[in-house]
């Protein structure tokens, strides 16, 4: 079994790579700029687990690079669309370039990767695609309009693909993390973090491993009758 994880060098993607490797998968670690982290992760996982661990550099906002990546990697059994960027900024201050970069990275990239991976899955009549959204894609976040819009688009992409690809034996699901302790969130104000924790029933921030375990479940046979779903991993934040 082979999984390709976009943005797998750090954060949630890194934890996903570790979980899949621990389950015997061949893992393709996609990265764009984090070469040192990707190579270090490859060496780490190769020393601990028996599956083949590969790294592949590709900018997922470029559909040609995505096509080349899948042509080189070959068919995958599981795709995890994890790669993303974030930015906090007043709506009225978001530039056209910032909007386009956010949409291209967080939504268009997932579309390109899903399109490329689905061809092989359709031939084999099996496969799983797991898209990483965000709780802000469900409820929206102030000063993160472009991020929230892109992550809401991921949810729409998931539900549409689940309907279209279901008859080909392909399951498509979405994980919507809450506030997770990753490099992406290092610049968030401590008071804002505390406010989130105070409004989270489990009273803590999440870990990348919390998300990775759910991603693996959605790829496994134990979720064989689950598709088109959005699973929140947010400590109960959206329950209120």
Please write the tens of the pLDDT for every residue from 110-162. 999 999 999 999 999 999 999 999 999 999 999 999 999 999 999 999 999 99
Measured in degrees and rounded to the nearest 5, phi and psi for residue 140 equal 80, 150
User: Using CA atoms in the order 85, 90, 94, 98, what is the torsion angle rounded to 10 degrees?
Assistant: -10
For 184-213, what is the mean pLDDT? 86
Contact 153, 159 (CB under 8 A): no
The catalytic position among 25, 56, 112, 147 is 147
Q: Does the pLDDT at position 195 exceed 90?
A: no
- Whether 147 sits among the annotated catalytic residues: the reply is yes
Question: 98: buried, middle or exposed (CB in 10 Å: 19+, 13-18, 0-12)?
Answer: middle
CATH tag for 2-239 (out of 1.10.3720.10, 3.20.10.10, 3.40.50.10320, 3.40.50.720): 3.40.50.720
* Cα separation values, 138 from 83, 181, 219, 229, 237, Å: 18, 20, 22, 13, 12
In the chain, which residue ranges form alpha helices assigned H by DSSP?
A: 11-22, 35-48, 63-73, 96-103, 109-124, 136-139, 145-165, 190-198, 208-219
Give the integer Cα–Cα distance in Å for 4 and 86.
Answer: 22
Question: 101: buried, middle or exposed (CB in 10 Å: 19+, 13-18, 0-12)?
Answer: middle
Please write the tens of the pLDDT for every residue from 148-181. 999 999 999 999 999 999 999 999 999 999 989 8
Q: Does the pLDDT at position 240 exceed 70?
A: no
Buried b / exposed e across 159-181, counting CB within 10 Å, b at 16+? Answer: bebbeebeeeebbbbbbbbbbbe
Please write the tens of the pLDDT for every residue from 10-61. 999 999 999 999 999 999 999 999 999 999 999 999 999 999 999 999 999 9
Give the integer Cα–Cα distance in Å for 27 and 15.
Answer: 12
Give the integer Cα–Cα distance in Å for 190 and 196.
Answer: 10
Query: What are 230's strand-pairing partners?
Result: 174
**Residue 186 or 27, more confident:** 27
Our measurement of the distance from residue 230's CA atom to the centroid of its chain's CA atoms, rounded to an integer in Å, reads 13
């Amino acid at each position: 079994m082979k999984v390709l994880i976009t943005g797998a060098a750090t954060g949630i993607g890194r934890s996903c790579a570790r979980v899949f490797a621990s389950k015997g998968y061949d893992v393709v670690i996609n990265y764009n700029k984090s070469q040192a982290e990707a190579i270090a992760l490859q060496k780490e996982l190769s020393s601990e687990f028996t599956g083949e661990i590969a790294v592949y550099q590709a900018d997922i906002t470029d559909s040609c690079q995505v096509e080349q990546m899948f042509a080189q990697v070959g068919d995958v059994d599981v795709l995890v669309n994890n790669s993303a960027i974030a930015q906090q900024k007043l709506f009225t201050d978001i530039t056209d370039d910032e909007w386009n970069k956010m949409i291209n990275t967080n939504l268009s990239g997932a579309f390109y990767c899903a399109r490329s991976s689905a061809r092989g899955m359709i031939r084999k009549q099996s496969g799983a695609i797991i898209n990483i959204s965000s709780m802000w894609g469900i409820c929206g976040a102030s000063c993160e309009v472009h991020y929230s819009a892109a992550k809401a688009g991921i949810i729409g992409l998931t539900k549409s693909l689940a309907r279209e690809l279901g008859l080909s034996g392909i399951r498509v699901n979405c994980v919507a993390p809450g506030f997770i302790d990753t490099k992406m969130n290092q610049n968030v104000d401590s008071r804002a973090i505390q406010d989130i924790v105070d409004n989270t029933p489990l009273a803590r921030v999440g870990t990348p491993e919390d998300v990775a375990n759910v991603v693996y479940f959605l790829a496994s046979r134990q979720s064989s009758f689950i598709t088109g779903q959005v699973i929140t991993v947010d400590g109960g934040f959206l329950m209120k």
